[in-house]
Amino acid sequence: MRIHIHTFGILFYFLFAASATSCMIQEIQPDDRDLFVTIEEIEEYMDAYEYDTQPYESQEKTLWFDTTVDLSYEFETPDTDEENPLYLNTEINCSAKKADTSLDKLVSKGIITTFLEAANLKLKERNDIFKYKNSQLQMLLNENGNPVGNILYYSGNKCLYTFMISGLYIDDSEIWNEIVLPKLMKTDKIDIGFFELKHL
């Protein structure tokens, strides 16, 4: 198994519109963190960073009044690390209504695509590498057609799951099955209550 390493780092920001007017920020629990693709897991397939990566992680859990829940994880290497820049992002947007996740999928994908085009980056579908139900895996390409990362979309039972990695790209099916598949399966077991996210 292998991950291809490129000294090409790029920062992405996901923009999600929130229709709720009231929210509650909660601490990320272990069950919540298990849904994220973290730097600790990625380091198992590459040379580990020589410095402590924890200060460069951020995670958040937001519960909205309209019974939607947003979970997010982000990791970005410091500017001083010019040799192995890496960016990771997991966004999980859950709703009691399945139709809402389908709408969010269209909105988020449109925003990402627009940003990538502005940065002279392109997406190439690669569902031959990994496929789970209605997931969509794409390879992130630079202007010369070289792969520099991946984006995965998955619209599950009640959640939209988006994972992005830049600075590395993964074209090994075993790695996707070992790291990402269990997280998508756990996401499918999530239930949403009033200001509550339940891991079933």
pLDDT surpassing 70 at residue 9: no
Q: Quick one: CA dihedral 174, 37, 81, 13, positive or negative?
A: positive
Identify how many contiguous H helices and E strands the chain contains and give both numbers.
5, 12
Structure tokens that stand for 115 in this block: 């940003």
What digits encode the pLDDT tens for the residues 32-69?
999 999 999 999 999 889 999 999 999 999 988 878 89
Residue with the larger pLDDT of the pair 16 and 129: 129
Q: Are the C-beta atoms of residues 108 and 151 closer than 8 Å to each other?
A: no
What digits encode the pLDDT tens for the residues 104-136?
655 566 667 776 777 778 888 999 999 999 898
Q: What is the pLDDT of residue 15?
A: 42
> Would you call 64 helix, strand, or coil by DSSP?
strand
Torsion of CA 181, 94, 18, 116, to 10 degrees: 20
Structure tokens that stand for 33 in this block: 């963190």
Whole-model pTM? 0.83
Cα–Cα distance, 185 to 81 (Å, whole number): 34
